[in-house]
Structure 1
Amino acid sequence: MKNLIIIGAGGYAKSVLDSLDYMNFKMEGFLDDIKLVGSEHLGYPIIGSKVEDIKQYSNCVFFVAIGNNAKRKLWFDKLKEHELSLINVIDNSAIVSRHATMGEGCFVGKLAVLNHGCRVGDNCVVNTRSLVEHGCEIGDHVNLSTNSTLNGDVIVKEGGFVGSGAIINGQITVGKWSLVGSGAVVIRDVRPNTTVVGVPAKEILSNSVKYNSL
């Protein structure tokens, strides 16, 4: 059994703990830059507050439970810099095709589906009831929110965020660090660093707003 440290003591951590395989991982505590070190979250201690603290726990494995893609990427990169191990957390109700592939540090929530031939990068969130159809390519640090639907052969590039209930038609590309609003229906490609909303989805913010800024 491996000792686990979760980075981020917020709401996302509730889903992670609910889906964790406790037969293989023992929860050690949280690192969080807001909550007081020594306090508790969900019954586990806050054992650190900053990136430098991860070096003290080189014998542990890690999971980054931060919803913001850019901040999640920052922690992921620091963990890799220190050659530390990240785990995937996959709920036992999720359906993951044996022909799907997945990187490190990913979360697949309750009743989510990853179908034949889809490829999921590192540090991704595939949240509750998300559907990722055949042949989709999900880049690193992507967040697919609850009930989002990616039809066949969709590409979501690095840092993309797909809001709850959004639908992306087949063979559409969502550019790097772009955001698809909740409930949107995407029928054409989305440019990088762009926010689209509505039915059909239309661009409301362009490169003047950097979704990936920290």
Structure 2
Amino acid sequence: MLSFLSYRRIDQIASTLESSQAPKTVVIDAGHGGEDGGASGSSGIPEKEINLSISKDLEQLLTVSGYHVVMTRTSDTSIGDNTLGTIRERKVSDMHERLKILQKQGNCIFISIHQNYFTQSQYNGTQIFYSKNNAESKPLAEDLRAKVMELLQKDNKRQAKPATSSIFLLWEAKVPAVLVECGFLSNAEEETKLKDPVYQKKIAFAIYSGFLDYCSGIRQPS
């Protein structure tokens, strides 16, 4: 993973940390987990596994770059109250526990990692959603989008979209917050990429690079 970091990028990291007003804490949310596998493609690999792998790759990049990283989960578990009687109740509890982790950090940036799925298999490409509760969420999403397109998906024309109430964590977040749907598990070609550890690292690096671009644009007042 560290081989992705060029000397030029390391210089940018140091400059960003020194001069940026952006928060130095990043909360990474690996979507789903435990009994909630999320979506799955034709191969049967559950979304939760891909989410966690990409999240851990992103965590490593941010940590070695000097950021304080908080993960909502680090293993294949639900973090909600598993004694509750129904799957829906346990899922709601899990979402609220993730929100508590986010809120506990105070001044931070929130990045949630997911995979997409649609009934029509021709759709592919990364889609990014942002919270409407903080003005910095949209530029963060746009910088992440731009870098993913530049490095991995030059033909992807999708624009960052504001989150609706169906995306609970972004709907509730007060800090800069985005959700990255890295690709479509319903597209066989993209699913093959998404379950490949090398491609997962490339996605993580693209998100990381976009994050640095975003932070580089927030400067201390002169």
TM-score of Structure 1 vs Structure 2, range by shorter chain: 0.3 to 0.5
Q: Which is bigger in relative contact order (C-alpha 8 A, separation at least 6)?
A: 2
More helix by share: 2
- Using structure 1 for the length normalisation, give the TM-score: 0.33
More strand by share: 1
- Using structure 2 for the length normalisation, give the TM-score: 0.32
